[in-house]
Amino acid sequence: MKKRIFVAGGAGYIGSVVTNELLKSNYQVTVYDNLSKGHKSSIPKNAKFIKGDILDRRKLERTFKETRYDAIILFAGRIEVGVSMEDPGVFYLNNVVGSFTLVETAIANGIKKIVFSSSAGVYASKDTPLVETDLIGPASVYGHTKRITEEVLSWYNKTLGLRYAALRYFNAAGATPPDRGEAHQPETHLIPLVLQVALGQRKNIKIFGNDYPTPDGTCVRDYIHVLDLASAHILALKALDKQDNLVCNLGNGEGYSVKEVIETAREVCKHEIKAIVAPRRPGDNAILVANASKAKKILGWKPNVPDLKDIISSAWEWHKSHPKGY
Ligand code: UDP
């Protein structure tokens, strides 16, 4: 029998790509999404869709009583680092209370496995690649909400036997043209914003701070293709048959500064992309680069599109064909 997976936030950028890959790997998928940020048209046709909020315990109860799910993948949540510093309450409510509500309702209904979208934002900045045991020290409310949820999962694991994987994504990027790409509303992420400049939709890209302790003064991140994230989720689901908890980084182990990302996009798009220096964005870490040895060793994971140029090329292809997003 096909395994049934409940994907909370499956209409979003990463969730919809993972849903598609799950279907291709012969899972049955139900997408549960409130469509506050996600796009209905990005949900793969063969997935069942339920419009709902992870804060809505009654709806979750009904859904779990109706269908038995083998596992949950939790993407639903707010993701904008900058906004989290202006409006922390929205983040604690959606990401902490929402995740808690989903976990609690799942366990009360006999669902014992969950794969959670965590983030590199749980770490303190470090100028060498981060391993999972490195210092936890979120620089933003967003990162803190991810850390709290990891801790909640860990305690449900110890007390009630919840099996969980917390996947600490570094910077998800790239697209799976022609169908799916990154289009947030409003957009706050570097690569889609840079591509909007290339498309003539924005005058320039603002570089948030050029006085960080990094080689060129701009923040350094590790960009990972969304399909490589997807393959890790499927491996993590399988790993939970054998082990009851897993925390691992997902990144390529290469750091690129904001300036380097813009320069690479110029090469890919063959457009001049005007950049201007702006003040730092509150909540940003200077450097976040992954050491993903653990995911490679334990999950047998291997990124297929590690090169930043290829990642940006896939995003560019999608953006050119979807200039208005979804
Ligand atoms: N960034 C920037 N200008 C923008 C958007 C982002 O300089 O218009 C920087 C941001 O400060 C961070 C990096 O690009 O250092 C990646 O930011 P993004 O929001 O894409 O991802 P995050 O690392 O916050 O998850």
Are 118 and 237 part of one and the same domain?
A: yes
Evaluate: CB of 305 within 6 angstroms of ligand 1. no
Q: Is the pLDDT of residue 286 over 90?
A: yes
Please report, for the domain that includes residue 213, its CATH number.
3.90.25.10
* 36 and 98 housed in the same domain: yes
Q: Is residue 279 part of a domain?
A: yes
State the SS3 of 59-125. HHHHHHHHCCCCEEEECCCCCCHHHHHHCHHHHHHHHHHHHHHHHHHHHHCCCCEEEEEEEHHHECC
Residue 264 lies in a domain: yes
Query: Is position 181 within any domain?
Result: no
Across 226-238, average pLDDT = 98
Whether 188 is in the pocket of ligand 1, judged by its Cβ within 6 Å, is yes
Q: Are residues 165 and 16 in the same domain?
A: yes
d(CA 270, CA 162): 49
96 occurs within a structural domain: yes
CA 258 vs CA 47, 264, 280: distances in Å:
36, 10, 12
Q: Which protein residue's CA is at the shortest distance from atom 1 of ligand 1?
A: 190
- List the domain range (segments joined by +) for residue 299: 190-221+253-321
Q: What pLDDT is stored for residue 80 in this prediction? A: 94
Structure tokens at 230: 């997807």
Length of the chain: 326
My answer on whether 315 and 213 are in the same domain is yes
Please tell me the distance from the alpha carbon of residue 71 to that of residue 114, in angstroms, as a whole number. Answer: 6
The answer to whether residues 217 and 227 belong to one domain is no
Q: Give me the number of domains the chain comprises.
A: 2
Mean pLDDT of 23-41: 97
The reply to whether 125 falls in a domain is yes
Judge if 96 and 26 occupy the same domain: yes
Which atom of ligand 1 is nearest to 288's Cα? 23
pTM for the predicted model, two decimal places: 0.97
DSSP assignment of 217-263, as one string? SS-EE-EEEHHHHHHHHHHHHHHTTT-SEEEEEES-S--EEHHHHHH
- Say how many Å lie between the CA of residue 210 and the centre of ligand 1: 12
CATH number for 25 = 3.40.50.720
Do 147 and 198 sit in the same domain of this protein? Answer: no
Q: What's the pLDDT tens digit per position in 199-229? A: 999 999 999 999 999 999 999 999 999 999 9
Contacts for 62 with CB less than 8 Å, ≥ 6 apart? none
128: burial class by Cβ within 10 Å (0-12, 13-18, 19+)?
exposed
CA–centroid distance, residue 93 to ligand 1 (Å): 23
211 in the same domain as 150: no
CA atoms within 13 A on the CB side of 262: 20
pLDDT at 125: 86
- Verify whether residue 142 is a known catalytic residue: yes
Over the chain, what is the mean pLDDT?
Answer: 97
H or E segment and range at residue 173: strand 171-173
Query: Annotated catalytic residue: which of 13, 32, 123, 142?
Result: 142
User: Ligand 1, atom 10: nearest CA belongs to which residue?
Assistant: 208
* 129-178 confidence digits (pLDDT tens): 999 999 999 999 999 999 999 999 999 999 999 999 999 999 999 999 99
pLDDT band, residue 3 (cuts 50/70/90): very high
Q: What is the mean pLDDT of residues 224-242?
A: 98
Q: Kindly indicate the confidence band of residue 29, based on its pLDDT and cuts at 50, 70 and 90.
A: very high
Does residue 185 belong to any structural domain of this protein?
A: no
Question: Looking at the structure, do residues 106 and 160 belong to the same domain, yes or no?
Answer: yes
Distance in Å, CA 314 to ligand 1 centroid: 19
Q: Could you tell me if 95 and 240 lie in one domain?
A: yes
Mark whether 165 and 111 lie in a shared domain: yes
Which of 175-195 are b and which e, b meaning 16 or more Cβ less than 10 Å from the residue's Cβ? bbbeebbbbbeebebbbbbbb
Model confidence at 127, in pLDDT bands (50, 70, 90)?
Answer: confident
Same domain, 57 and 46: yes
Say if residues 141 and 85 touch (Cβ distance below 8 Å).
Answer: yes
Please name the residue whose Cα sits nearest to atom 18 of ligand 1: 189
At position 29, the amino acid (one-letter code) is V
Q: CB of 284 closer than 6 A to ligand 1?
A: yes
